[in-house]
Structure 1
Amino acid sequence: MWTISEIFFLFLVSMLMINYLKVLWTSRNLPPGPFPLPLIGNLWGLKFQLHPETLAQFSRLHGRIYTVWLGGSPLVVLNGWRAVKDGIVSHSEELSGRPVASFLMDLMGGGGIVMSNGHVWKQQRRFGLMTLRNLGLGKRGLESRIQDEAQYMVESFRAQNGAPFDPFNIITACVGNVISAVVFGHRFSNDDVIYQELIKCNHCIVESLGSVWAKVYDAFPWPMKHLPGPHQSAFTNMAYLRQFIAKELRTHKESGSLEEPQDVIDYYLAQIEKSKAEADSTFDEQNLISMVTDLFGAGTETTATTLQWALLYMVAFPHIQQKVHEELDAVLDGSKLVCYEDRKRLPYTNAVIHEIQRYANIAAVGIPRTCVKEVNVYTYSLKKDTMVLANLDSVLFDPQCWKTPDQFNPNNFLDEKGNFLANEAFLPFSGGARACLGEQLARYELFIFFTTLLQSFEFHLPNGVAKVNTKYIYNLTLQPHPYQICAVAR
């Protein structure tokens, strides 16, 4: 006679075997990949992270398109420019969904722009693009805000008097104030305690999203949602951000003018009123908070991280820094504020900035997408709801697309005559329908901040430091190890 515990054990083993057989059966219709283990799939082989180096190893074994299993969920990985282009560019609309069961989805709530789907995503994204244009993206208004923050950054660097310092906090505060002006309508003092907490929360969320715990959550969302662990701190930090934004929203309601909107919140509140009678409207206060969270989070972290890499590369490759200085001295008036339009007269500096983005590759693997309908990608038929990951690292280092893919070399963006040369494989902002909403703003910021700093300072290592650590820390974005530099006024 079997005991209850024996029956229960047999039931668990049977369910496990049934689930595993289901995984093997489903694998027949997916691109080949590493053999999945019961329950955990390929998480062990992935070391519980979607690390670009591990994905590159799998690509060498299994080809340009392969499948890995995150627990019981398959993820099709696209590698190299041809496969990625065929996926997220050529089939942009078909691969425009987001996974509905993931750590990022639960954290972000499925509203706003980054993690929404279908009609919500289309309406919110269209509004976001329109509002950024209305606020001056591509015009003098927003450019002047960036120039102002660039001057704040210069003053803060100059206050170090040439002594060694870590530029992280200064860069992050100034970059964060650009997007703060866009979404909140005002900047913060860099010493503001609340602002520092916002920056800290945002950074901690990014670190959580790249952690082992996040991938375990993706594989087993239901139990991880209820279990304690480091991943729960991300929800605490997100709650703080959303509470602050809700408070800003109330302030705008009390003192703002919907007839003369000044920022994203103003424009959104006006849109809520305007679309009240529309049955299919997705404009409400929860989506507003989600959109502002998206813009503030991504708009701060990505540009600030890229600028940190920029200064690190300038001390790592002093001959390149010298050539930038020479071009700036020859072309620009030292007393003139740098404008985005100046990039056309500064091909080498422009190439250096693009090479920083390519080589630093901060959004190495991007965010997974899902197929919103059945689609053929790179000779494989992918069913609706299949998760797809475009490995951007494999594109930005594709030897078929770059002169020297594994070396930091501005000539990757220059022709034989020294003119700037665009490259369609340059995808630091991803591509297709889910490309970064703030790409144009980021381009303005990177050019103006970088050029203003190089116009004002010569950067070098502190005395006694002979080696530059250009290896990255793996998070949702690839970040440099903490470092110190000296900024000597020119």
Structure 2
Amino acid sequence: MELSAAAWLAVLLAALGGALWLRAGQERRRRAKKGRLPPGPPALPLLGNLLQLDPSAMYRSLEKLSERYGPVYTIHLGSLPCVVLCGYQAVKEALVDQANDFSDRGDFPVFYRFTKGNGIAFSNGEKWKVLRRFTLQTLKNFGVGRSSIEERIQEEAQCLVQEFRKTGGSPFNPINPVCRAVANVICSVVFGKRFDYEDASFLTLLDHLNENFKIMSSFWGEVYNIFPRLMDFLPGPHHQIFRNFESLRQFIAGHIRRHQESLNPSAPRDFIDCFLIRMEQEKQDPLSYFHTETLVMSTHNLFFGGTETTSSTLRYSFLILMKFPKVAAKVHQEIDQVIGRDRAPCLADRKLMPYTDAVIYEIQRFITILPMGLPRAVTRDTPFRSFLFPKGTNVIPLLSSVHFDPSQFKDPNSFNPANFLDENNSFQSNEAFMPFAPGKRICLGAGLARMEIFLFLTTLLQHFTFRPLVTPAEIDLAPQCTGLGNVPRPFEFQVLSR
């Protein structure tokens, strides 16, 4: 049973007391002397601005506060001051125009307890730069962004078609087959293999990923990030996150051991092999960043990042196309005209399908899978507008506020593919489209995700019509929970052969 706000207040005050607040106050005063953070709502001792926020929909509370305090303001999450960036202009000025200054990863306790700052997504400084360069080159060498990975996605898309066809038109929940298909693409790069859709260990792994994404996007996940030390001692579903993380660690570590036993340095098979070779090359270097723990965390980052957000986007796509059947009909028409029924969709088709492309972009804008992005931190004392952010200041870029900025999109609260079409109905991109986070920390798998969403969705629509079990008006696009991500509600639908 969830605790009320009053109960949370009592527990927090009793558990932490005034000593923690005094220490936090000293830190704030130190920061205040060193820099000039933007003003924001007054903070309470210990709790900061928690009572002004809804932990189950944090980004909406932050957007609401920006109406009073402007597009750049300071919020206190417990004792931690964070600068909030709201709207396209503020996010662009920071993450794009001053990309180097805003390129560190900010505090994210729920991940830090697991990663300890290792891996690609949550390391900083020179370690992050070295790991990112290595990973980008390795992904490129194994076909990401090239025709070989396109063929791999096409093959997996056909497997997904067969899974959908097995339902025989009966209602089903698409979460499991979609997650398996998407995960298998990144598995082919990271582990050098795809997994059978009935592989028990693979299914358990995906269940852990889905559960963690859901819990981290819930009330419990948000509160853990604000009060990690306290939440470690309080009961609740947040503890399942770390049990799942440990299972993921063991799964990945097992594959690494098997790779070590069969490694051929002259013929690397996948990302793990390449990392192991680099580890051997630098084993005498005490400053090397290539260690087993870093490999485990980097593999986890790629697997988690390459599975959860893309599969969630596809499930949202099904819901949106059923809610707006006229949009789905136009996409079907364009698929029939450009691709037909006898060959598999390919990336070259995308340039000839402006409406479908616009629909895919609009879906990603409208749902904004990661509404707050992942937190950033400034790499040095950073002047920004009329303020000065001390080195290490945490920054929250509200990507949801960018995607719903009325200065950038027509009627942003409505689903409208015309946001990405010009007056001639040709596809038109928009700099305010930022689903993968802009700047130096752009998602490593952004290019792969774009390929997957287009190829999976067009392949399914080539073969099927999606039929909801309720009227379009009754389809609820509101997320089941929202925090780290917007998690789509569970649903069933029918797929009917075309």
User: Which bin holds the TM-score, normalised by the shorter protein?
Assistant: over 0.9
Return the match for 2:220 from 213, 221, 224. 213
1:266 aligned onto 2:273: yes
Question: Shift of the alpha carbon at 1:50?
Answer: 6.0
Q: For 1:367-410, what per-residue CA distance to the aligned partner results, in whole angstroms no more than 9, with x for missing partners? A: 11111101122332111111001000000111111122111111
From 471, 474, 482, give the equivalent of 2:490: 482
From 121, 127, 133, the counterpart of 2:128: 121
Q: Deviations over 1:231-273 (max 9, x none)?
A: 2211111111011111001111112322111211111111112
CA distance in 2, matches of 1:23, 1:189: 53
Q: Secondary structure of the residue that 2:140 maps to in structure 1?
A: helix
TM-aligned CA deviation for residue 180 of structure 1: 1.1
d(CA) in 2 for partners of 1:15, 1:113: 32
- The answer to whether the 8 Å contact 1:50/1:365 transfers is no
What is the DSSP-based 3-state SS (H/G/I as helix, E as strand, rest coil) of the residue aligned with 1:55? helix
Q: Percent identity?
A: 40
Q: Look up the equivalent residue of 2:491 and give its one-letter code.
A: Y
Moved more, 421-430 or 376-385: 376-385
Q: Is the alpha carbon distance of 1:69 and 1:260 closer, same or farther for their aligned partners in structure 2, counting shifts above 3 Å?
A: same
**1:299 correspondence with 2:306:** yes
Residue 256 of structure 1 pairs with residue 263 of structure 2: yes
Q: How does 1:87-486 map to 2 (within 5 A)?
A: 87-100=94-107, 102-462=109-469, 467-473=474-480, 474-486=482-494
TM-superposition CA deviations, 1:400-434 (whole Å, max 9, x none): 11122111111111111111101111000001111
Q: Tell whether the 8 Å contact from 1:78 to 1:389 is kept in structure 2 after alignment.
A: yes
464 and 315 in structure 1: CA distance in 2 versus 1, 3 angstrom threshold = closer
What amino acid maps onto 2:488 in structure 1? P
- CA separation in 2, counterparts of 1:285 and 1:169? 30
Change over 3 Å in CA distance of 1:451–1:304 after alignment to 2: same
In structure 1, distance between residues paired with 2:57 and 2:128: 25
Could you say which residue in structure 2 is the equivalent of 1:61? 68
Post-superposition Cα deviations, 1:174-193, rounded to whole Å, max 9, x if no partner, equal 11111111111111111111
Say how many residue pairs are matched.
Answer: 481
Counterparts in 2 of 1:463 and 1:420: CA distance versus 1, 3 Å: closer
CA distance in 2, matches of 1:442, 1:170: 17
Cα deviations across residues 22-80 of structure 1 (Å, max 9, x unaligned)?
Answer: 64785683211111111110112112356221111111111001111011110100001
Judge conservation of contact 1:87–1:378 (CA < 8 Å) in 2: no
Q: Closer, same or farther in 2 for the Cα pair 1:278/1:48, shift >3 Å?
A: same
Q: Tell me the TM-score normalized by structure 1.
A: 0.93
Counterpart CA distance in 1 for 2:438 and 2:367 is 18
Q: Do 1:371 and 1:387's aligned partners in 2 also have CA atoms closer than 8 Å?
A: yes
Taking structure 1 as reference, are residues 208 and 462 closer, same or farther at Cα in structure 2, changes over 3 Å only? Answer: closer
Write the letter of the residue equivalent to 1:229: G
SS across alignment from 2:453: helix
Change (3 A) 1:145 1:489: same
In 1, the alpha carbon distance for the partners of 2:250 and 2:142 equals: 24
Most deviating of 450-459 and 474-483: 474-483
- Tell me, yes or no, if the aligned pair for 1:65 and 1:378 is still in contact at 8 Å: no
Asked whether the equivalents of residues 77 and 391 of structure 1 are also in contact (C-alpha less than 8 Å), the reply is: yes
Unaligned residue ranges in structure 2 (runs of 5+): 1-13
Local SS of the residue matching 2:451: helix
Deviation at 1:464, TM superposition (A): 7.2
Residues 146-187 of structure 1: CA deviation (Å, up to 9, x unaligned): 111100111111111222211111111111111111111111
Write the letter of the residue equivalent to 2:217: G
Q: Is the 8 A contact 2:323 2:473 kept in 1?
A: no
Q: Aligned AA for 2:375?
A: P
* Residue in structure 1 matched with residue 52 of structure 2 by the alignment: 45
Structure 1: gaps spanning 5 or more residues? 1-8
Between 333-342 and 18-27, report the one with greater CA deviation.
18-27
Determine if contact 1:43/1:49 at 8 Å carries over to the other structure: no
- In 2, Cα distance between equivalents of 1:169 and 1:445: 16
Whether the 8 Å CA contact 2:107–2:375 is kept in 1: the answer is: no
Q: What is the CA–CA distance in structure 1 between the aligned matches of 2:258 and 2:108, rounded to whole Å?
A: 34
**Residues in 2 aligned to 1:409 and 1:27: alpha-carbon distance in whole angstroms:** 44
Per-residue Cα deviation, 1:184-228 (whole angstroms, up to 9, x for no partner): 111111111111110011112222322333333333333434554
Say if 1:438 and 1:12 are closer, same or farther in 2 by CA, change over 3 A. closer
* Distance (Å, rounded) in 2 between the aligned partners of 1:181 and 1:89: 32
Please, which moves more after superposition, 383-392 or 275-284? 275-284
Q: Which amino acid aligns with 1:32?
A: P
Deviation at 1:451, TM superposition (A): 0.7
- 1:34 aligned to 24, 34, 41, which one? 41
C-alpha distance in 2 between matches for 1:423 and 1:41: 36
Amino acid at match of 2:294: N
CA RMSD in angstroms comes to: 2.1
Change (3 A) 1:226 1:124: farther
In 2, the alpha carbon distance for the partners of 1:303 and 1:12 equals 43
Taking the aligned partners of 2:19 and 2:451, their CA distance within structure 1 comes to 58
The letter for the 1-side match of 2:371 is A
Is the 1:209–1:475 contact (alpha carbons within 8 Å) kept by the matching residues of 2? yes
Do 2:117 and 2:123's aligned partners in 1 also have CA atoms closer than 8 Å? yes
